[in-house]
Amino acid sequence: MKYYCTMFTFICCCVLTVSATAQEFDSLTVKARDNADNAGVAGATVKLLDDSGNLVDEVTTDENGNAGFSFSTSSIGNNVAYTTGLGEPYPNPFTSHTTLPISLRSPARLTGAVYDLLGRELASVEGDLGIGSHSFDLDLSGVPAGLYLFHLSSGGKEIGSIRLNHSGSGANGNVNLHILRGAGTPPAADKPAIPGTFSLVISHPNYKTVTESDITIEGRSVRFIMMTRVELIPEFGTDQNRVFTVIADARSGLDVPRDLEFNPVHPEQLWVVNRAFDGTVTYWNPGTAEMTSLRVRDLYANHFMEEVSAIAFSETELFATSQESVNTYDGQLPGGNNFMGPALWTADTAIYSKDGLEDWGELGSHLDMLHASPNGMGIAHDHDNAYWYADGFGGNIVYYDFQQDHGPGHDNHRDGIIRRYVDARIQRLPNVPSHMILDKESGWLYICDPGNRRVTRLNTKTGSYSGSGETFFPDYEEVFEFSTYTGATYEVFANSNLSHPSGIALHNGRIFVTDNETGEIIAYNLTGKELNRISTNAQSIMGIEIGPDGKIWYVDAEANQVVRIDVKDVGD
């Protein structure tokens, strides 16, 4: 038995494919159950499809979550309208004989009848037909010329009607009507044979299917479909009104974009960090006709922004970046020297990317950089010039506080604070950033951990000093504090149905996570309960941001795109 489940926002569908024969069971009961309390899920639509994907029957679960199908002759006949094709008569007009072709995708008992325009039945015929092509043969040579109607039905339910244009000159005699059987699958002696395989498609506005099990009792099969409730997420919209709008691509300078964030001081600015050229592209008024952009690579980006993986703004125009590098200076130092960590910058374009101005140092426009953490995979702002950092080399979460920055191009780091939280373990997955977001109200730091296929969280209000820090650079750098912290509360936030979680955002009490492997965006509440998920067309989705407009923005590193999810009003 193969089981496929695809969940779409607001309309969730599951396809269950089962191999069966008529002798294995003669009825099927579907029992939809809430995974939380085993209560019946009423109002689920259950469709029965044949092995060609054609609809055979459609049932809605009752108040107890049950829906039933019977494979008896009468049942299949009652549902034959879904699987019968009624062709046009040929010839038409005709002088005496005409033929009406039919095709069946399920065996059925069919009734054909001819009526005059006063509604009087002139002839009828009934027969059991198997899968395939058949036809009705009509002889109207015995009746006057005129218009007549042919009705096709099954079990008292009409399938279709055809107008017959008889041009002959018969008297008020008889109409002869009989069935011409084709070479299709013949019906069994007692009842029609069902297809060798069939499928169930289960959908519900507020549920998705998670598991299934089945039992068979004396020819009667029961399918238990366990479902979990999902919520309509306003930022997701629905399949009917969700639009993925490409805001920017390689033509405006994007080259392996891995993260994005709006400038809190100037929310009309969207900043995107790009790994391929160790720099940024800034967009003014993104998504509008007035959008402009600026691509920047600092003169010393081969160290201070080498293999940039993430960006995080403070409440001011300052921002920090993480770098997935062991410091090779863009390949000039094979093997690197592990002298890496977060870098601090300003979004003031009068300073950022400029070099050699009065009172500047000789190291480009960066404002500060602390070290001891090669292969930085993610970064989140805490307060002032303090940030949380995902150290992919050491496999820890590290707290960095630049305190007072040293100014553009200088290298005085003596006031820096570095605290390694050794209990907060992560596993680096090369080329997939571990983005983070801090809930500043609660103190929980939410962390994507793609190497372990999970999202974790660290209570930043817990933990205490337990000793000096560990450096991966041979020569210790003098800083104000370099320490190890232990005893912090660190726990798994979500790890079900996750492949490579990468991007993360917090908005209106919900956590949004991107899955780099599947291209999905998953919404959780703050306890880690999955609320809903949607699929995107992203080839390599990474950073995600909730914009000032309340909409979801994300980057696709492989397609070199910034994409916004728009939820259109009906009629737009």
Please name which of 459, 460, 546, 458 lies closest in space to residue 503, comparing C-alpha atoms. Answer: 546
Most confident of 152-156, 432-436, 495-499: 432-436
What are the extents of the domains in the chain?
2-71+194-229, 80-180, 242-567
pLDDT in tens, 458-478: 999 999 999 887 777 767 788
Q: Which residue has the higher pLDDT, 464 or 29?
A: 464
Average pLDDT over residues 76-84: 57
Residue 423 has pLDDT above 50, yes or no: yes
How far is the CA of 326 from the CAs of 338, 394, 433, in angstroms? 4, 11, 15
In the CATH scheme, what is the code of domain 2-71+194-229?
2.60.40.10
Residue 485 has pLDDT above 90, yes or no: yes
Residue 187 has pLDDT above 90, yes or no: no
> What pLDDT does 290 receive?
96
Please tell me if the domain spanning 80-180 has the same topology as the one spanning 242-567. Answer: no
Whether the ω angle into residue 93 lies within 30 degrees of 0, i.e. cis, is: yes
> What pLDDT does 203 receive?
86
Residue 257 in tokens: 């974009």
Looking at domain 80-180, which of 2.30.30.90, 2.60.40.2130, 2.60.40.10, 2.40.37.10 is its CATH number? Answer: 2.60.40.10
- CATH class name, domain 242-567: mainly beta
Residue 570 has pLDDT above 90, yes or no: no
Which pTM does this prediction carry?
Answer: 0.71
Identity of residue 167: S
Percent of the chain with pLDDT over 70: 88
Residue 193 has pLDDT above 50, yes or no: no
Q: Which residue has the higher pLDDT, 225 or 173?
A: 225
> What pLDDT does 246 receive?
98
pLDDT in tens, 212-235: 777 776 667 888 999 888 888 999
Whether the ω angle into residue 91 lies within 30 degrees of 0, i.e. cis, is: yes
Most confident of 11-25, 32-46, 338-352, 460-474: 338-352
Please, are residues 563 and 245 in contact by the beta-carbon 8 Å criterion? yes
Q: Which residue has the higher pLDDT, 368 or 140?
A: 368
Three-class SS string for 404-448?
A: CCCCCCCCCCCCCEEEEEEEEECCCECCECCCEEECCCCCEEEEE
Exposed, middle or buried: residue 383 (CB in 10 Å: 0-12, 13-18, 19+)? exposed
Average pLDDT over residues 477-483: 92
Residue 356 has pLDDT above 70, yes or no: no
pLDDT in tens, 519-537: 999 999 999 999 999 999 8
> What pLDDT does 184 receive?
60
Q: Which residue has the higher pLDDT, 90 or 456?
A: 456
> What pLDDT does 171 receive?
76
Exposed, middle or buried: residue 414 (CB in 10 Å: 0-12, 13-18, 19+)? exposed
Average pLDDT over residues 487-497: 96
pLDDT in tens, 260-311: 999 999 999 999 999 999 999 999 999 999 999 999 999 999 999 999 999 9
Q: What angle do CA 220, 221, 222 make, to 5 degrees?
A: 125
How many angstroms separate the CA atoms of 242 and 566, rounded? 6
* Average pLDDT score over the chain: 87
Quickly list H helices, 145-211: none
Q: Are strands 269-274 and 121-129 parallel, antiparallel or unpaired?
A: unpaired
Question: What is the pLDDT confidence band of residue 77, given thresholds at 50, 70 and 90?
Answer: very low
Question: What is the pLDDT confidence band of residue 403, given thresholds at 50, 70 and 90?
Answer: very high
Average pLDDT over residues 185-205: 61
pLDDT in tens, 310-350: 999 999 999 999 999 999 999 999 999 999 999 999 999 98
Percent of the chain with pLDDT over 90: 62
- Dmax over CA atoms of the chain, in Å, equals 114
Name the least confident of 18-27, 37-46, 76-85, 291-300.
18-27
How many angstroms separate the CA atoms of 533 and 510, rounded? 12
